[in-house]
Structure 1
């Protein structure tokens, strides 16, 4: 196994050194590490929105030198605003990791609080390094530029297959270790923003697999999902890959559209959690002899609810930040739709539990709140407020139905409800674009003229593209993660020893006890 790891690192290093040589051709974009030359007169109105040609600018510089200089300043400032917006939103999304840590730990038992916190903490560091090694390159290495940030044209190597004369992108091939031509101010900013999205995916299964997952098997998982699984599907939707070209080649709307990651981020994490929960098995004592589930309540509901509010706060960066442009005033619509959907999700889950069981359930309300956020993440930029509330309300009920189905029918133990919150509602969010997109936004998205419209606004092709995206995500992530967890379980056991699980994992797995004053110490004679 060590030889295999050494070979992989050597291959990646070779690519890192070799790819810049091909990218530095005479007509190739040149990286700008300082950012000094990023943003010019061509960016005053946007590089794709009637920007002046080089010849136009040469003429202007000759006849009106002051006007040309002012245009450069305005263009640079426009790109600067967009970059600052993108970075601040990335910082907000990073803070969501604290929300996940608190929510997952609060929904699990006190004897495992330190272990659950440790996974949520280290998935950030491990995931970031894995994404830096090759994940970012595989995802964004062929995106070909980000107009709103005035650069990233050096990310221009997409590995594709040709079918019927059409190029279908599979993965990117520039940006390994953020070195070579990817040493560029825009590329680094894009890396930060995309990395924190990936980290959300990676942390989702830690909730489903909590309280019985060995830390030594968690570590290779975090590398694997950040280096390969997440980046490949993300490339197909966001990096210029084949799902994004379904509209251009087959007239299926604008191809698979996922504005901020209902499928790319949340469904990917939810499906990975589903596989992990299946293979790992339920916690000891979760099911009675007749197969009916036992409740294993979380130890700190205020902590969990606080975590959910932190997640909602970070979600404004998650969704509105996905514009990658503070100068795109649609961000106001995106942020408001996000807020409304979360409220509707909390309300509908509360009413469902109240009507069915006679009392509202705060844990289900909190998860319904998150379900609304997950579901609106893909369509937030393409729908109106009424649709946002409908999407959130449906998500809250779907959450409740799914939790009982996963627990009672599938017999999968999910301590925090991550499969239902992220997996089920991630799929619903992608579907919602194909139903509710109202045609007011998204002109020329994925190279297709016109705005994004769903079935209810006249474009059934968009719905088909969304369904293809959902099916692709489920099949790809499920199969790859199933094989990975099965193989890993042979090499490094996934499950802790029964006696450790009964006593609690804190000391055995991470050498710390979260609540030492409440734990009875063993007496040694």
Structure 2
């Protein structure tokens, strides 16, 4: 076996394994969000995650990958590669297009999962399926094409977003914000005076395990983006990822102790995630000290952003915008400040003698991608609303989406028997009884 074939084989194994790590993050999203919402809505979270994985993968196969990585048209959209066919010769990698699709498919599933948490406990399941198709087939792939594809206009300008602080997290976070605004707050979340009422999480240990799974998967998210098992930066990427996450979590422990006189567990959980989101853009291009600083800033900003969202009477049950939108924005800008010349193939960051060029490009890219996600999601929800309610009925929300929409509670030890006809008259078992 020649060296080229050996490298291709090693790279394929590496990318497939890291893609599997990223896909495992869906388990993290499921546990995190199920722990943050009330017990009566835990099943609905799991069902949305299954929609993310199943519909997301299929839509990305049929449409999304082509729009994202197909042959470029004016730097705006891809025009080949539907169902992995057609002209994809411009993708010059040591791995096959099938392998590359698998890795990118794991990314697109993560994007839609960001939005699901922001609309938890009150969004219509049918409308969510439709929006998943729009996000995975159109909104995310086009934004990704601008930055990551051969010929994308932001990529040509020199924008750096190694593993997606902007393309995945800022896009997903601002999309989540738009979705939360259109769907509206949960019943009873805000009083008549606009003051937010506390909705306690149902299971913080479960949410913590979800966060740990996400933290684990993030090493695949960031290090896997090298797309090469022999890339010498894998270790450095893993170190910066770890340091930023730890700094984000530690900062939230201390900051919430000072701000609330108690260390706030949900904030600490989200602090670790904020650090992970923030370092995603520059994990390969910034030093260890910068990674820690990014985590610290993201941790503090996440807490303040969570408070700001509630002050605007916007209901975001899991803090999707604060974690992903705000921290993704910070991480994208941080590249323009801290990128080290020996680690980039282009301009360095402002603090390393690169001037304002990279910082300006990063800011432009962030603004464009964030507006794209917000406006397209807002428009999609408004359009969907004309055909399908985007929100469940009042009765369904009060009884809980698990029973009201899916016909089964998450925790049933309180019942010896369940009358399926009452929970879900259309269920298979109920039909058999009839």
TM range (shorter): over 0.9
**Offset from partner CA, 1:448-500 (integer Å, 9 cap, x none):** xxx44111011210000000011101221111111110010111000100111
Instruction: Name 2:350's counterpart in structure 1.
Output: 455
Q: Whole-Å Cα distance in 2 between the matches of residues 315 and 90 of structure 1? A: 11
**Offset from partner CA, 1:394-419 (integer Å, 9 cap, x none):** 110011000000011x2110110011
Q: Is the contact between residue 108 and residue 211 of structure 1 (CA under 8 Å) also seen in structure 2? A: yes
SS of 1:333's equivalent? helix
Question: How much has 1:178 moved relative to structure 2?
Answer: 1.7
**Offset from partner CA, 1:46-78 (integer Å, 9 cap, x none):** xxxxxxxxxxxxxxxxxxxxxxxxxx7012112
Q: Is the contact between residue 136 and residue 231 of structure 1 (CA under 8 Å) also seen in structure 2? A: yes
Instruction: Name 2:181's counterpart in structure 1.
Output: 278
Instruction: Name 1:190's counterpart in structure 2.
Output: 100
Instruction: Name 1:504's counterpart in structure 2.
Output: 400
1:434 counterpart = 2:336: yes
1:209 counterpart = 2:119: yes
Question: How much has 1:267 moved relative to structure 2?
Answer: 1.0
Instruction: Name 1:334's counterpart in structure 2.
Output: 237
1:176 counterpart = 2:78: no
Instruction: Name 2:221's counterpart in structure 1.
Output: 318
Q: Whole-Å Cα distance in 2 between the matches of residues 219 and 306 of structure 1? A: 27
Q: Which residue of the other structure, out of 445, 461, 475, is the alignment partner of 2:371? A: 475
Q: Whole-Å Cα distance in 1 between the matches of residues 175 and 204 of structure 2? A: 25
Question: How much has 1:257 moved relative to structure 2?
Answer: 0.6
Instruction: Name 2:46's counterpart in structure 1.
Output: 117
Q: Is the contact between residue 263 and residue 378 of structure 1 (CA under 8 Å) also seen in structure 2? A: yes
CA RMSD, aligned part only?
1.7
Q: Whole-Å Cα distance in 2 between the matches of residues 423 and 318 of structure 1? A: 17
Q: Is the contact between residue 174 and residue 371 of structure 2 (CA under 8 Å) also seen in structure 1? A: no
TM-score normalized with structure 2 length: 0.93
Question: How much has 1:519 moved relative to structure 2?
Answer: 6.9
Q: Which residue of the other structure, out of 253, 265, 269, is the alignment partner of 1:362? A: 265
C-alpha distance 472-399 of structure 1, shift in aligned 2 (>3 A):
same
Q: Whole-Å Cα distance in 2 between the matches of residues 371 and 489 of structure 1? A: 32
SS of 1:336's equivalent? helix
Q: Which residue of the other structure, out of 317, 322, 327, is the alignment partner of 1:420? A: 322
Question: How much has 1:79 moved relative to structure 2?
Answer: 2.1
Unmatched tracts of structure 2, length 5 or more: 423-434
Question: How much has 1:357 moved relative to structure 2?
Answer: 1.0
Q: Whole-Å Cα distance in 2 between the matches of residues 346 and 452 of structure 1? A: 31
The runs of at least 4 consecutive aligned structure 1 residues that moved more than 6 Å come to: 519-524
Unmatched tracts of structure 1, length 5 or more: 1-71, 142-156, 161-168, 247-254, 444-450
Q: Which residue of the other structure, out of 63, 72, 96, is the alignment partner of 1:158? A: 72
Count of matched residue pairs: 414
Q: Is the contact between residue 441 and residue 452 of structure 1 (CA under 8 Å) also seen in structure 2? A: no
SS of 2:386's equivalent? helix
Question: How much has 1:181 moved relative to structure 2?
Answer: 5.2
**Structure exhibiting the larger radius of gyration computed from Cα positions:** 1
Q: Which residue of the other structure, out of 156, 173, 184, is the alignment partner of 1:245? A: 156
Q: Is the contact between residue 115 and residue 505 of structure 1 (CA under 8 Å) also seen in structure 2? A: yes
SS of 2:77's equivalent? strand
Q: Whole-Å Cα distance in 2 between the matches of residues 385 and 134 of structure 1? A: 39
Any residues of structure 2 matched to 1:25-424 within 5 Å, and which? 73-141=2-70, 157-160=71-74, 169-180=75-86, 186-240=96-150, 241-246=152-157, 255-408=158-311, 410-424=312-326
Q: Is the contact between residue 440 and residue 452 of structure 1 (CA under 8 Å) also seen in structure 2? A: no
Q: Is the contact between residue 347 and residue 357 of structure 2 (CA under 8 Å) also seen in structure 1? A: no
Q: Whole-Å Cα distance in 2 between the matches of residues 519 and 427 of structure 1? A: 47
Instruction: Name 2:429's counterpart in structure 1.
Output: none
Q: Whole-Å Cα distance in 2 between the matches of residues 178 and 133 of structure 1? A: 8
Question: How much has 1:441 moved relative to structure 2?
Answer: 1.5
**Offset from partner CA, 1:332-391 (integer Å, 9 cap, x none):** 000010001000000111111100111101110000000000000001000111110000
SS of 1:516's equivalent? coil
Q: Is the contact between residue 249 and residue 275 of structure 2 (CA under 8 Å) also seen in structure 1? A: yes
Question: How much has 1:518 moved relative to structure 2?
Answer: 3.9
Question: How much has 1:510 moved relative to structure 2?
Answer: 1.6
Q: Is the contact between residue 382 and residue 452 of structure 1 (CA under 8 Å) also seen in structure 2? A: no
SS of 1:517's equivalent? coil
Q: Whole-Å Cα distance in 1 between the matches of residues 86 and 268 of structure 2? A: 48
